[in-house]
Amino acid sequence: MTQPIPKPRQSSIERKTGETSIRLSVDLDGSGVGTRKSGIGFLDHMLDLFARHSMIDLSVDAEGDLHVDDHHTCEDIGIVLGQAMNEALGDRRSVRRYGHFTLPMDECLVTTAVDMGGRYAFEYDAPIAASKIGTFDSELVEHFWQSFAANAHCNLHVVLHHGRNAHHISECIFKASARAIRMAVEIDPRQDHVPSTKGVL
């Protein structure tokens, strides 16, 4: 059986609120290229890691109320990234749907598992002892991924097995999540249908 060539799995979204203005685009079948300009140096670094390890082309251009703090900008980028992923996946035909990855980084070890099945659930057990990573509030790592999962309509589970350095833990979470998502959104050449016995996701 010859599998039909999938439609371009791309999405571009603009979101404007009283707190942020965001333009974001993804290509699920890319190579990890794009530009990340959030106004938050540490978040740009994490988004670079996400793009490179997921092999998703990702461009982000955001302006936010950083004079208040990083919260709204970080949250809204997570929201828009989730929305773009959901839109780019379409009916999720032919995707692997599930992905998981356990990633070591120096003293850290993180496992992320994801189901891109159209339903939201979020479990996060990855405490970061330090309240700040440079000027970035470390609690925003969890908040970013919760915002992403809710808007990507996916199950996302993140577990830190061990780790001490806050920067390393955050990096490990973004890399492991990227690798798990890469696996889940890949086209499975053995199926040309929606990966569910229900016939719909």
| pLDDT tens, position by position, 145-172 | 999 999 999 999 999 999 999 999 999 9
Pairing verdict, β 121-125 and 155-162 = parallel
Whether 191 is covered by a domain: the verdict is no
| Domain extent for 162 | 10-185
Whether 142 is covered by a domain: the verdict is yes
Is 0.95 topped by the overall pTM?
A: no
Whether 78 is covered by a domain: the verdict is yes
Q: For residue range 41-74, what is the model confidence (pLDDT) as tens digits? A: 999 999 999 999 999 999 999 999 999 999 999 9
Q: Write the CATH number for 98.
A: 3.30.230.40
Whether 46 is covered by a domain: the verdict is yes
Cα angle 104-55-110, degrees, rounded to a multiple of 5? 20
